[in-house]
Structure 1
Amino acid sequence: MTTHPNTVGSTIVAAQYKRFGSAEVLSVIDGPAPSAGPGELVIKVAAISVNRIDTSARAGQSKFMTGRHLPQPTGLDFSGEVTEVGQQVAGFSPGQRVWGFLGTDQLGKHGTAATQIAVSADLAAPAPASHELTDLAALPLVSVTAWQALEELKVREGSRLLVVGGAGGVGSAAVQVARARGAIVDTISSAPHEALLQQLGAESRFDPDPAQWSGLTGHYDAVLDTTGQSLWALRRTLARTGRMVTTSPAGIAASVISKILPGPSIVFLSVKPSRTALDQVAALVDAGLLNPVIRARFPLGEIAQAHALVETGHGEGKVLVDIS
C-alpha cells in the first residue's frame, strides 16, 4: 500500500481543556502535526459540530467515560480532506472529501477540533458531493444516531413515528430520514420551531407539555426521544406492540424498568460508529432527502462561544466550528 507524505505543515492548532468547567476552560494550542500509522488517514479538517456529549465531557459530567486525566481534547465528528493515507488502507486517496465520527469511546482521548487529525480509516467515509464540506460537519454524529435509532425501531414506509425534540440535531435528522423511508412523522417541539419542522416534512407538532398528549394514546408505532423527559407519558402514545428509543442518558433507568413491565418497550441507544450508516446517509444527502440544519458557526478560536451556545439548549439544528 502506498503511503503519501503529509505536506500540509509540521504543526497544527487544536482545542483542549486543562481543567473541567464552563466553556471558558477551552483553549486553542499549537501542537505537532499527526502522521498516518497503519490503517489510518490524516485529514485536514474543514469543520466539526459541537454536541451535547462534548459539552458535558468538558464540564466534567462524563468522567466515567473520559477518565480524569487532563488535558483533554474535544470534538467527535468531522468533515475534511484526506492529506495522507497510511499503510494497509484501501479506498482513500489524498484530496478526497471525507466525513466521519470517532465514537463515544474516544471521548476525552482523541478530538476532532484541530486543523489536522489522524483517524482510523474505519471511522471515515466518502462525504456527499452535493454540499460544502463545512456544512456537512453538521451531520455525521446526529445522522448516524438517527439512522441507528430508526433501524432499531424498524421504521419503514407507512410507519407512524413520533420524534421528541424534532428541531434539534438528532431530531431534525431523524424527521428527514424517516420521511425518506416513507414514514408518517409527527413531532413534539415548542411552537417557534413549527416552520422548520414543516419544512423538514413533519405533519403535526405537539407542545412539550404532556397534558396536551391525551389524544395521542396508542397512536404511534414508534417513538424516538432525544430529551429523556416524560418517558412514561410518551410510552402511552405507543400502540401495544410499539417501541420507543431514547438517545438521552436520562432515559436509561426507564429503559431498564420497561423490560419487566408489560406493554411497549423503551430502549436506550448509544450511537456507534458505522461506515454503513455514513454511506446510507450520504446517499440521502446526495438525493436531496437529508440536509444539514445549521444554527450558528464559529471559528476555531471561538470554540468556547460555540460550546456556550449549545449549552443554552432549545436551538434549531447544529452549532459548527469552522476550521477551514
Structure 2
Amino acid sequence: MKTIAYNMFGGTEVLQTIDEPTPSIQADQVLVKIKAVSINPLDWKIRKGEMKLMSGSKFPKHTGTDFAGVIEEVGSSVTTFKKGDEVFGIVKNNMKEGALGEYVAVPATSVWKKPAAISFAQAASIPTVGGAAVAAFQKMGKINSQSHILINGATGGFGMFLLQLLKPTGANVTAVTSTNGVAYAKEWGATSVVDYKKENILSRKTTYDVVIDLSGKMGYKNAKQIMKPQALFLNPVPQPIDIPTTLIQNLFRSKKHIALITAPSEKSINLLLQGIDKGLTIEVGKVFPFTQTQEAYQYAEKGGYIGKVVIEL
C-alpha cells in the first residue's frame, strides 16, 4: 500500500510516499480503507522532533492521527462493526503510528460509525480537536449567562467545536480571529468578535472568567492582564515543562494556569455525535489530494485557515 513516512526529523520536505505491506489485524482490530485524514499541529511537532522524548528517534515514522474511511476487514472478536461500515477514528499511539496511507489497522474501540449526514473529510476532522474541545468545555466548570470567556484563535478546528459547545450555555463569549474568520465565529456562537489584525485584545479593559489560548501566541503571562481574580487560563498546547510547573505554581496564585492534556474518549465523541444530530457544523477549510501531502502540511503550518485542513485519498 501507499503511505506517507519520514526517515529523519525536519520540515515538510522529509515527507515521502513509500510502499509498505497492508497491515494485518489482530482479533480486536479493524482494517480501515482510508478516505480522508485531517491535519493536527501535533503531526508536525512530532515530525520536527519537538516531541522526541515521547516519540523516540526510531525511523521510519508515519504521520496523521485522525481518519475516516470504510471497514475492509474485522478481527475475529469484533462484533460492533462489519465490512463496508463507514467509520471515523484515531490511531492508538500517534507518537509511533500514522493514518496517512491507504489502510490503517486500529482497535475497534478507536473507531466510531460515521454519521450519514457528514462527509468523510468532515468525519476525519472530529476526533482530536473535537475531543479536546469537550475536555476544555468541561474544565471550565459551571458556565452560564454571567460567564465571560475569551477564545484566542477561535476559528480553527478546536475553536469551531468549542464555540458551538458553549453556545447553548448563554455565556458571553469573545472570539479573537482573523478578518476571514469573523463571520464564522459569529455563526458558531460568539457573542462578540475581535479581529486581531485591527485590535489587540490585551488593550481592552474587559476581564474574563476563562481565557483559552488556541493560537498558542498569547501565553499565561499576557493573559493575566485580562483575567478576573479567580479566573482560569486554559493552555491546550503546553510545553512538557508546563505540566509539573503549573501544578506547583497554581498552589500560590488565584489566577490558575491549566495545562490541557486530552485524548478523545467514547463519552466525548458520543457527545459530539449527538451535537451533529442537532445541527453542529464542521467546516473543512481546505482539502488536498494525497499526492499533495507536502503542500497540505505547508499550508496547515502557516495557520490562519478556517476549520480543518484535510487530505483525501
Which TM-score applies when normalising by structure 2? Answer: 0.90
Mapped contact 1:155–1:161 kept (Cα < 8 A): no
2: CA distance, partners of 1:90 / 1:190: 46
Secondary structure in 2 aligned to 1:84?
strand
* Superposition map of 1:68-83 within 5 A: 68-83=57-72
Residue 256 (structure 1) shift = 4.2
Asked if residue 140 in structure 1 is aligned to residue 127 in structure 2, the reply is: yes
Q: Tell me the residue number matched to 2:226.
A: 237
* Superposition map of 1:1-324 within 5 A: 12-102=1-91, 106-154=93-141, 156-158=143-145, 159-208=147-196, 212-217=202-207, 220-228=208-216, 229-250=218-239, 253=242, 255-256=246-247, 258-288=249-279, 290-323=280-313
2: CA distance, partners of 1:257 / 1:194: 37
One-letter amino acid of the counterpart of residue 135, structure 1: Q
One-letter amino acid of the counterpart of residue 42, structure 2: I
Compared CA separation, residues 212 and 166, structure 1 to 2 (3 A): same
The superposition leaves residues 209-230 of structure 1 with CA deviations (integer Å, 9 ceiling, x where unpaired) of: 656443112xx33222213323
2: CA distance, partners of 1:73 / 1:246: 27
Tell me how many residue pairs correspond in the alignment: 307
Deviates more, 1:73-82 or 1:245-254: 245-254
Mapped contact 2:63–2:97 kept (Cα < 8 A): yes
Residue 310 (structure 1) shift = 1.1
2: CA distance, partners of 1:72 / 1:114: 12
One-letter amino acid of the counterpart of residue 273, structure 1: P
Mapped contact 2:194–2:201 kept (Cα < 8 A): no
Deviates more, 1:70-79 or 1:154-163: 154-163
Residue 192 (structure 1) shift = 3.4
Secondary structure in 2 aligned to 1:232?
helix
Compared CA separation, residues 211 and 85, structure 1 to 2 (3 A): closer
The superposition leaves residues 245-290 of structure 1 with CA deviations (integer Å, 9 ceiling, x where unpaired) of: 21012496373464133212111112213111111111111211x2
Which TM-score applies when normalising by structure 1? Answer: 0.87
One-letter amino acid of the counterpart of residue 171, structure 1: G
Residue 244 (structure 1) shift = 2.4
One-letter amino acid of the counterpart of residue 317, structure 1: G
Return the structure number with greater relative CO, CA threshold 8 A, min gap 6: 1
Compared CA separation, residues 136 and 300, structure 1 to 2 (3 A): same
Residue 207 (structure 1) shift = 4.8
Stretches of structure 2 that go unaligned for 5 or more consecutive residues are: none
One-letter amino acid of the counterpart of residue 152, structure 2: V
Residue 166 (structure 1) shift = 0.1
Percent of aligned pairs sharing the same letter? 28
The superposition leaves residues 89-122 of structure 1 with CA deviations (integer Å, 9 ceiling, x where unpaired) of: 232222222112235xx23411110111100112
2: CA distance, partners of 1:264 / 1:95: 51
Q: CA-atom RMSD, angstroms?
A: 2.1
Compared CA separation, residues 155 and 51, structure 1 to 2 (3 A): farther
2: CA distance, partners of 1:184 / 1:234: 17
The superposition leaves residues 104-163 of structure 1 with CA deviations (integer Å, 9 ceiling, x where unpaired) of: xx2341111011110011211222221112222122211111111111112544343221
Compared CA separation, residues 205 and 182, structure 1 to 2 (3 A): same
Residue 14 (structure 1) shift = 0.9
Stretches of structure 1 that go unaligned for 5 or more consecutive residues are: 1-11
